[in-house]
C-alpha cells in the first residue's frame, strides 16, 4: 500500500503506512527501503538516509539491494 501511495505522489499517506507497519514487520528490509524513499520525497532526507542504513543491515532481495545502492548513492 505504501508503495502505491508513493507512485501517486502521496508521500504523506505513504509515510503513515510505513510507520504503521513497524509493529508488524520491523525487520522487513524493503519496507525500510521504501520508507526511506518516501521520506526523501517528502523533504526529509536525513530521516530517509537513516531508513536506508537500517535496510542495508537487513535481508533484501537482489533487486531491492540494487535499488538501495541506486537510491542511496549521491546523484544516483
Q: How many domains are there within the chain?
A: 1
- What does the chain come to in residues? 76
Question: Cα dist. 66→3, 12, 16, 36, 56 in Å?
Answer: 17, 25, 25, 15, 11
- Segments of 6-52 assigned E as strands: none
Grid cell 524513499 is found at 37
Residue 17 belongs to a domain with what CATH number? 1.25.40.10
Which of the 8 DSSP states describes residue 73?
A: S
> How many whole angstroms separate alpha carbon 60 and alpha carbon 42?
24
Q: What is the pLDDT of residues 31-60, one digit of tens each?
A: 999 999 999 999 999 999 999 999 999 999
The pTM of the full predicted model, rounded to 2 decimals, is 0.87
Confidence of residue 71 (pLDDT cuts 50, 70, 90): confident
User: Could you tell me the residue range of the domain that residue 38 belongs to?
Assistant: 2-72
Confidence of residue 74 (pLDDT cuts 50, 70, 90): low
Amino acid at each position: 500500500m505504501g508503495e502505491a501511495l508513493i507512485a501517486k505522489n502521496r508521500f504523506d499517506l505513504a509515510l503513515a503506512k510505513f510507520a504503521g507497519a513497524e509493529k508488524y514487520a520491523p525487520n522487513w528490509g524493503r519496507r525500510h527501503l521504501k520508507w526511506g524513499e518516501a521520506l526523501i520525497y517528502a523533504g526529509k532526507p536525513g530521516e530517509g538516509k537513516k531508513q536506508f542504513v537500517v535496510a542495508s543491515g537487513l535481508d533484501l532481495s537482489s533487486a531491492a539491494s540494487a535499488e538501495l545502492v541506486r537510491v542511496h548513492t549521491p546523484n544516483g
